[in-house]
Amino acid sequence: MIGSSLEKQDDNDHMAYWLSNTSALLFLLQSSLKSSAAVQKPPAPTSFFSRMTQSFRSSSANLAVGVVRQVEAKYPALLFKQQLTAYVEKIYGIIRDNLKKDLSLLLSCCIQVPRASKGTAFKTFEESEEVDSSPACHWQRIIESLNKHLSTLKENFVPPTLIQKIFIQIFAYINTQLFNSFLVRRECCTFSNGQYVKYGLAELELWCAQVTEEYAGSSWGELKHTRQAVAFLVLQEKSSITYNEITNELCPVLSVQQLYRICALFRDDSNNAPSVSPDVISSMKHLLSDGSADDGGSTFLLEDDISFPFSVEDIIGSMRVKEFAKVKPAAELTENPAFQFLLQD
């Protein structure tokens, strides 16, 4: 049944429903099973199902205070837990990738300031007379997309810790797309484009504050590369800044290779001001040529994170048994004589 649910991968509402249920079931299963280290004696000569039933009968009254009696698991239960964990990871990945897909087209409009706005004062969403044609409206659509997906996850009761992980990876994806555009596209590495992206960053920061850390987590911190690159692009009088000021104060996260690319590609399309001084460029070239700049790899581009940044313990630690204490049992269970203990006080 869970496997067949993956056929509707494009429906994030459907996927969120199953992420909520599989993670909740995984939590309850994990909470009911003893770890191998906790086993102090051989298992009793009863079937696994009998021991599970006995455990729930004896502990049903304790669920209200968040206590579950643990049982020793045999292979079928451990196999099911392993399969359930795999489903949680797969469904999580589907939701994350669907959100990336939705944002991809929107981000393509946010990477470079629209042509009509170049050389003119940048207008915010509220200041523009024609809202739909305002450069800022592209960033507003990003915010609307984030809000829509957050509402879907919350309405399906996806655990906050998983919502956090999703948006942290989504912001890392935004960071990768924006930052890499500065490094490979000369038309993006300009003063006016820096202002355009700076406005968008302010909108994203506001969004993180509004949804609170419970759901945003450390998402804002994932944009550090783009934030520091933008700080350089919009900086006035770049020719007067020193190499140490750039690397230690303005852009400490960026590698020498990344800084060199931005400095070399930068063009002030607003005031026609020069980039950094020749001495700064020379210092960067020297570090790159003699190999003293440890950039942690041969490429200067950021890579998208497609990992699963959570463990079963993360899910278990974020949920509590008492959250399920007042949940009404499903009719299919209460009508089955084997589950009459669910109705006991």
**Tens of pLDDT along 158-217?**
999 999 999 999 999 999 999 999 999 889 999 999 999 999 999 999 999 999 999 999
Q: Which residues pair with 267 in a beta bridge?
A: 190
Q: Are 97 and 166 in contact (CB under 8 A)?
A: no
Q: Write the pLDDT tens digit of every residue in 113-164.
A: 776 544 444 554 445 444 455 668 889 999 999 999 999 999 999 999 999 9
Residue 323 has pLDDT above 80, yes or no: no
Q: Which of 172, 166, 16 is nearest to 91 (CA)?
A: 16
Cβ neighbour number for residue 335 with a 10 Å cutoff: 10
Q: Measure CA 155 to chain center.
A: 18
Q: Are 22 and 82 in contact (CB under 8 A)?
A: no
Phi-psi region of 237 (alpha: psi -120 to 50; beta: other; left: phi over 0): left
Q: Measure CA 200 to chain center.
A: 18
**pTM beyond 0.85:** no
d(CA 146, CA 211): 10
Angle at 204 between CA 198 and CA 206, to 5 degrees: 105
Cβ neighbour number for residue 310 with a 10 Å cutoff: 19
Percent of the chain with pLDDT over 70: 76
